[in-house]
Chains A and B, each alone.
Chain A
Amino acid sequence: MSELIYFYSFTLVLALTIILCLLLLGYINPCITLQNRYMFVSIAGLIGWVFFVYYSISHFYTIRLVDIISTTMFLLASILAIGVFWSLICWGFTTSLLVALSCFHYPISADLWYSSYSSGSTITDFTNDRLSILIRLGLVARSSDDILIPGSIFAKVLSFTYRSLLRIYRINQSFI
């Protein structure tokens, strides 16, 4: 039974180690992009997990399949939670806007505020920046005359799911 305690404790420690590695990697290699830093740490954590599970299966005879599945789910969810935290402090729109405004000690216009947030870019640059993810995922396609259209049937399925979830959670969206 102590083997099971060890197994569950290690999963928790590994999830916390991922945050520590995310921190250390920023000092070891400051040139690495923020996206790559998160990807690298997540993949390294998963590889470490696979080795640990392999070791546990061959040495701990009390480990059951349900323990492996539940702790794997827990680890994946932890990586996702770290990703949400990482995304919030790196690219969070509201947090970034607040940080940008805090650099000024006097009232500024909305245009100057936005310009400060996006390092001099325009609102169209911001739209293109967020759009780039949708285009990369194949959800949106850009025609030759710069008209934006849904990229695939998956985009329509995702849009329908999004609308259904808005109704379930009772969230109002003005443009729908």
Chain B
Amino acid sequence: MITVLSLFSVVTSLVVTIMLLRSGLHLQPILIFVVSCFLSSILTICLSFSSLVSIFDMLPSLCFNVAFNIFHLFVFSSVYKSISLKMLQYICLTSQHDYVTVNSLSSGVTLKEFSERTDVLINMELITKHFDAYIVTKKGLLVANTIKTIQSIFNIKRIGLYGKF
């Protein structure tokens, strides 16, 4: 029964997540994962109660479900935003017909990513653009201060590049 419950919860969350991600809804991916994990857990609990399964047979399947969702979120976020993976992809595809140097990688991936992230910040109304200059908005300042507070709680002095810190 534990196997059936675990499979049920994992498959349900996988199907719900992929359907929501492919649906084109403008929802934050993290929200989609939280909703699908919550929904599949609720369905698993309902199924357990309806088939009179003990709570101790239900707990492992819930653990598997949460673990699966976190692993899935990790895979998704790597595919969605990781710059290193985009660089690897660029090198694998471009090296078949052209030479790839650090400079071509910078213009092909890094600069594009920089402007993409800038657009994200502008769309979220965290920064604004005046001609060719950027400034943080009140909302952006609030978010930046929250990040700085979290960093100071964890005693993180400086952020940014892997190699430097």
Contact = CB atoms under 8 A, between A and B. Distances in A.
Contact of B21 (A4, A107, A170): A170
B47 interface: no
A108 interface: yes
A150 B89 CA distance: 9
Interface string A131-146: 1111000011000001
Contacts of A158: 85, 88
B53 interface: no
B116 to A, nearest CB: 9
Contacts of B164: 119, 129
Nearest to B64: A70
Interface stretch (A21-29, A44-52, A53-61): A21-29
A30 B165 CA distance: 12
Contacts of B110: 123, 126-127, 130
B150 A4 contact: no
A98 B121 contact: yes
- Tell which of B63, B77, B99, B101 has the most Cβ of chain A within 10 Å: B63
Contacts of A134: 84, 87-88
A98 B127 contact: yes
A168 B72 CA distance: 13
B135 A118 contact: no
A85 to B, nearest CB: 9
Interface residues of B, number: 85
B87 to A, nearest CB: 6
A101 B127 contact: yes
A23 B154 contact: yes
A169 B21 contact: yes
Interface string A84-99: 1000011111111111
A96 B76 CA distance: 21
Contact of A74 (B63, B113, B150): B63
A73 interface: yes
B63 A26 contact: no
B133 A171 contact: no
Contacts of A23: 153-155
A169 B63 contact: no
B75 interface: yes
Closest 10 pairs between A and B when the two form their complex, measured CB to CB = A26-B155, A107-B133, A102-B144, A70-B60, A77-B67, A77-B70, A70-B63, A159-B92, A73-B67, A74-B63
Interface of A: 1, 4, 8, 11, 22-23, 26-27, 30, 33-35, 66-67, 69-71, 73-74, 76-78, 80-81, 84, 89-102, 104, 106-110, 113-114, 117-119, 121, 123-134, 139-140, 146-150, 155-156, 158-159, 162-163, 165-166, 168-171, 173-176
12 contacts: A66-B2, A81-B74, A90-B159, A99-B147, A104-B136, A107-B135, A132-B162, A140-B88, A146-B102, A150-B91, A165-B75, A173-B86
